[in-house]
Chains A and B, each alone.
Chain A
Amino acid sequence: MPKITYVSVDETARTIEVPVGTSVMRGAVFNDVDGIVAQCGGNAQCATCHVYVDEASADRLDAARPDEDHMLDFTASPRRDTSRLSCQLTVTEDLDGLIVHLPERQN
């Protein structure tokens, strides 16, 4: 099962096995990782599951679709080049080892 690493603001890292087909957001929520709010339940409506994808992982991801791109202008912590909504990152075997950094605030 692909392993995703979530790094909090204080640099605490948690590595979690997340089933293929679910999302990086749900991997965090189901495993009680602090720092992902996911208010809308993973529907790209609220921008409260914002993550910064680690530079080393960034090229593994498809580009954000327009909805996500717009929503990323609406995050509580500043948008960066590596910003993504974790609800829109579907876990595949190719994402094994993905590292995401959690922002300071989600709302």
Chain B
Amino acid sequence: MAPGTPPASVVIVGAGQGGFQTAASLREYGHTGRITLISAEDALPYERPPLSKAFLKDDTYLEGGAPLWLRPATYYVRQDIDLVAGTVTALDRAARTVRLADGSAYAYDHLVLATGARPRTLGVPGSGLRGVHTLRTARDAAALRQSLGAARRAVVVGAGFIGLEFASVARESGCEVTVVEACDRPLARAASARTAAYFARLHRDAGTRLLCGHGVAAVHGNGRGGVSEVELTDGRPLPADLVLTGVGVTPNTELAAAAGLVVDGGIAVDSRLLTDDPRISAVGDCAAFPQVRSGNRLRLESVQNAVGHARLVAERLTGAPSSRTYDELPWFWSDQFSTTLRIAGVDERHDAEVVLGEGPDAFSVLLFDGDELSAVESVNRTGDHLAARRLLSERVPLGPGEASAPGFTLKKHLAARRRGAAVPFD
């Protein structure tokens, strides 16, 4: 294959949002060669965000309890995307093939690793008891929903997005809920202390017990294989008939590592999402890619990130100029009770913050790294979030002094900038 020639055959390992989107975008951008999308789950690719939210509480959300397919089966036929169920066990870079557990093998001209991540487990005695859940797949969510229907006391380990989203659903369904977090506050990795404090109050006001700075020593059973109690490291017992652990994920890098690819907190890729093998790309949750602002390699877990990665790879493989580097603005959201947190940008470090908004339940926290806006966290302020997405992705200058001026709003700032540039606010 000469440089710049579109690959005849693309194999995609992993059919989550990133893998699916790679296949879909390849066809959309005109790829005519073979596309093989290998899914470790024997199911059509589906949406994941609702699994920790609406799926858990609303039977009508997904007809017949089926997961939310990204596209129906006819789509894959129509687009000539070969959807294969199986687990890839080996990658032979010299022969350019992947081999599945059932012995079948697929040859590639280009390989896209979209292997995702898996939940970390507690690794304490009793973690395997019935009633102890993690949440990643539709199957996980279905099991969790079933447990929740009969649960009275839920213990959630980990106060990140997954843990807190589940805690809100469990509380709303009438459970007594205790959230145990090892750090001294919730959302320690995901949001600023100010925003975290708001969510801590939101959950406590709803009657949830939030225990920060605590670890779990063991999970105890009821003698019938089910869970009955979570024991904290200080010995305190927390009675429970349902436990959800949301303590982060481990990227699925084993296949890449075994094939000798560089792994650095994720499958290491450059700003074009290529691994150190020019015939292998990596996208989504498994990929550690360089940040535009800091140059640091980061791994992000979000729909936006997976879709953005996938599109760039598909663009590159279908012959678009290969110089484009990945510089999309990351954004995230989380629904808890009736509150929505939206985050634009990644806060790697900040030394100043400005809060916008009058009411206690609707505000935005602007985080600044020096004189540069780095991220905006919006609680029930959709307009701020959207303006922030534009401001950050277009790198509109904004410092903390300017943002602190009376009457300042992100929308006005964006509009003023655009009047100068004659760009419509579309």
Listed in ascending order, the chain A residues whose CB lies under 8 Å from chain B are 19, 21-22, 26, 29-32, 39-43, 45-46, 66-67, 70-71, 73-76, 78-79
Minimum C-beta distance from B11 to chain A (A): 24
The answer on a CB contact under 8 Å between B303 and A29 is no
Q: Are B74 and A41 in contact (CB under 8 A)?
A: no
Q: What is the count of residue pairs linking A and B with beta-carbon distances less than 8 angstroms?
A: 57
Interface residues in B295-349 by Cβ distance below 8 A to A read 303-304, 307, 333, 335, 340, 342
Bound: A66/B381 CA distance, A: 9
Q: A73-B425, A74-B386 are in contact. Are A32 and B307 (CB under 8 A)?
A: no
Asked if A41 and B49 make an inter-chain contact with CB atoms under 8 angstroms apart, the answer reads yes
CB-based nearest B residue for A65: B382
Query: What A residues does B48 contact at CB under 8 A?
Result: 41
Residues on the B chain within 8 Å of A19, using CB: 63
Complex Cα spacing A39 to B69, Å: 12
B69 and A30 contacting across the interface, CB-CB below 8 Å: yes
Nearest to B386 among chain A residues (CB) is A74
Over the window 50-77 of chain B, the binary record of Cβ atoms lying under 8 Å from chain A Cβ atoms (1 yes, 0 no) is 1001000000100100001111101100
Taking CB atoms, residues of chain B closer than 8 Å to A67 are 340, 382
Inter-chain CA distance A26–B50, complex, in Å, is 13
B148 shortest CB reach to chain A, Å: 20
A19-B70 Cα distance, complex, nearest whole Å: 18
Q: In the complex, what residues of B have CB within 8 A of residue A30's CB?
A: 69, 72
Give bound CA distance, A84 to B333, whole Å: 21
Q: Is B234 an interface residue (CB 8 A)?
A: no
Q: Is the CB of B386 within 8 A of A29?
A: no
Q: Determine the chain A residues whose CB is within 8 A of the CB of B304 once the complex forms.
A: 39, 46
* B49 A43 Cβ-Cβ under 8 A: yes
Known A-B contacts A21-B60, A70-B386; A41 and B71 likewise in contact (beta carbons under 8 Å): no
Interface residue SS majority, chain A: loop
User: Which residues of B have CB within 8 Å of A75?
Assistant: 426
Which positions 55-105 of chain B face chain A at CB distance < 8 Å?
60, 63, 68-72, 74-75, 78
Give Cα A31 to B75, complex, Å.
9
Q: Is the CB of B382 within 8 A of A39?
A: no
Q: Which residues of B contact A66 (CB under 8 A)?
A: 382
Pick the contact of A73 from B49, B333, B386 — CB < 8 Å?
B386
Give Cα A76 to B63, complex, Å: 30
Nearest B residue to A73 via CB reads: B386
Chain B: residues with Cβ within 8 Å of the partner, total of: 28
Complex: how many Å from CA A66 to CA B335? 16
Other-chain residue from A26, A39, A71, A79 in contact with B303 (beta carbon distance below 8 A): A39
Which of A29, A31, A43 is B333 in contact with, Cβ under 8 Å? Answer: A43
Contacting pair A71 B60 (CB below 8 A): no
Q: Does B47 contact A (CB under 8 A)?
A: yes
Residues of B at the A interface (CB closer than 8 Å) are 47-50, 53, 60, 63, 68-72, 74-75, 78, 303-304, 307, 333, 335, 340, 342, 382-383, 386, 389, 425-426
Taken together as a complex, chains A and B put the C-alpha atoms of A31 and B63 apart, in Å, by 13
Take A32-B75, A73-B425 as given contacts and tell me if A41 and B303 are in contact as well, using a CB distance cutoff of 8 Å.
yes
- Count chain A CB atoms within 10 A of each CB in B47, B60, B342, B382 and give the residue with the most: B382
Question: Which residue of chain A lies nearest to B340 when distances are taken between CB atoms in the complex?
Answer: A67
Q: B333–A32 contact, CB under 8 A? A: no
Taking A43-B333, A73-B386 as contacts, is the C-beta distance between A32 and B303 under 8 angstroms? no
B69: A residues at CB distance < 8 A: 29-30
The answer to whether A32 touches B74, judged by C-beta atoms less than 8 angstroms apart, is: yes
Q: Known contacts A32-B78, A70-B383, A71-B386; is A40 also within 8 Å of B72 by CB?
A: no
With contacts A39-B303, A70-B382 known, what are 13 further pairs, Cβ within 8 A?
Answer: A22-B60, A29-B70, A30-B69, A30-B72, A32-B72, A32-B74, A42-B68, A43-B49, A45-B342, A67-B382, A70-B386, A73-B425, A79-B426
Give Cα distance in the complex from A76 to B426, angstroms.
Answer: 7
A43 touching B335, Cβ below 8 Å: yes
- Bound together, the chains give a CA A43 to CA B426 distance in angstroms of 21
Distance to closest chain B CB from A45 (angstroms):
5
A102 to B380 alpha-carbon distance, docked (Å): 29
- Chain A residues with Cβ below 8 Å from B70 are 29
Contact B382 A71 (CB under 8 A): yes
For A68, give the chain B residue with the smallest CB separation. B382
Q: Which residues of B contact A74 (CB under 8 A)?
A: 386, 389
Query: How far, in Å, is A43 (CB) from chain B's closest CB?
Result: 6
Nearest CB in chain B: distance from A10 CB, A? 16
Q: Which 8 A-B pairs have the closest CB atoms?
A: A41-B47, A70-B382, A21-B60, A70-B383, A67-B382, A74-B386, A32-B75, A32-B74
Most buried by A among B60, B74, B335: B60
Q: Which residue of B lies closest to A77 (CB)?
A: B426
In the complex, what distance in Å separates the CA atom of A41 from the CA atom of B335?
A: 13
